[in-house]
Structure 1
Amino acid sequence: FGQTHNFVTLHTCLKDKHIYMMGDSTMRQWFDFFGKVVPSENLFISGPLLAVDVKNNIDLHWRAHGIPLRSRKSFVANLHYISNEIDDLAGGPHTVIMFHMGPHFTTYPLNFYTHRVLRIRKAVLALLQRAPDTTVIIKTVNTGYKVSLYSIVCSNTRRPHCDGTFRVDVAFLFYILDVWQMTACHYSKENIHPGPVIIKNEIDILLSFICPE
């Protein structure tokens, strides 16, 4: 990957894009960031959420990654697995898919997490076979976990195992946005939900994947 750009305006990069975000509340932070420039309609706590810019032909989607999920009341019908969502997408040059899994799996065995990742891997491979020009981006976990709660999977000590599951075999087919390093080295106080300055840095890298020139 080459140079990271500083995006002052987002519409030029996002124009004519269909962007699907799936994950937890840290991925929801990205959606909320985009919502400042693209009018959004927040439907439910765990999604689906929708933001549309008709003038620039931009639509942004966010939904939770499905169970396990620690959230307020949610309609079970809205809790879709990431692999199923990807299977339902046609893909193409104007489609960007990004996903993330981490904190909500911390009280489950690592093989439970691995099983879910392998299902997603299968769905991504099928997507790229039918639409190889689709952009796929993986967001890694960040620091800031409370050891008392996030002690089993994807904690600060076991993060390499989680990210490694995503990276094996098919890393050359998609982008990996490693936010672990960005949060671990930042001067701001560690928080499972990174502050605005970190989110802005993450978005700049994200858009540099989508619009490298």
Structure 2
Amino acid sequence: MLVDDTNNILVKFRCHGTPLRCPPVYTSELHYVATYIRRLRQIRKAVVRLLNREPDTLVVIRTPNMQKFDPAYSLFYSNWFCLQIDTVLRGMFKGLNVKFLDAWEMMLAHHLPQDLHPPQPIIKNMIDVILSYICPAGKT
């Protein structure tokens, strides 16, 4: 958790649970997957309240990453689950004044290999996109 009282900023970070791609995964550890849509609904309600109160607030939502697969691994796993999460995420915030940081497309378009945890140049590109929303060119 990060608190900046001077600027009235509170940032909370919560690491995800055991990734589905790390066998064996017990069903008792999958509570974060089962509640994904419910959690998104709550986040959407909070964003709607925020935008009703402060319509000029910039809300940026980051999409899921793609995972790198070698040929043998790709026989049993795919990015299908991440694609489903991305589809649900975009659908949940459709029609709201939010911006998407499209990690999926940024990784797919980059010359570096896909990786669940993107390399530094891709992270830099993501930060540059966020900064372009905050400080657009030509705006004084």
Q: What TM-score, normalized to structure 1? A: 0.47
Q: Which runs of structure 2 are paired with 1:45-124 in the superposition (5 Å)? A: 48-49=1-2, 62-65=11-14, 69=17, 108=30, 111-124=34-47
Inter-partner Cα distance in structure 1 for 2:66 and 2:4: 28
Taking a change above 3 Å as real, the CA distance of residues 132 and 176 of structure 1, as seen in their structure-2 partners, is: same
Which structure features the higher share of helix residues? 2
Q: Any idea what SS the aligned residue of 2:115 has?
A: coil
Q: Structure 2 CA distance, aligned partners of 1:201 and 1:163? A: 19
Q: Kindly name which structure, 1 or 2, has the bigger radius of gyration based on alpha carbons.
A: 2
- Does residue 182 in structure 1 map to residue 106 in structure 2? yes
Q: Quickly say closer, same or farther: Cα 1:198–1:212, change in 2 above 3 A.
A: same
Q: CA RMSD in A?
A: 3.4
Aligned to 1:131: 54
Which residue, out of 62, 66, 72, partners 1:143?
66
Question: Secondary structure in 2 aligned to 1:183?
Answer: helix
* Count of aligned positions: 123
Per the TM alignment, residue 204 of structure 1 is displaced from its structure 2 partner at its CA by 1.1
Counterpart of 1:64 in 2: which secondary structure? coil
Residue 130 of structure 2 corresponds to residue 206 of structure 1? yes
Check conservation: 2:44, 2:92, Cα contact below 8 A. no
- Length-normalised TM-score, structure 2: 0.67
The question of whether the paired residues in 1 share the 8 Å contact of 2:66 and 2:82 is answered with no
User: 8 Å contact 2:40–2:92 — kept in the other structure?
Assistant: no
Give the gaps of 5 or more residues in structure 1: 1-47, 71-102
8 A Cα contact 1:140 1:178, kept in partner: yes
Residues 49-96 of structure 1, C-alpha deviations (whole Å, 9 max, x = no match)? 3689xxxx8787542247x545xxxxxxxxxxxxxxxxxxxxxxxxxx
In 1, Cα distance between the equivalents of 2:135 and 2:116? 28
Q: CA deviation at 1:111?
A: 4.7
* Kept in 2: contact 1:142–1:184 (CA 8 A): no
Is the partner of 2:60 in helix, strand or coil?
A: strand
Q: Which one-letter code corresponds to 2:42 in the other structure?
A: R
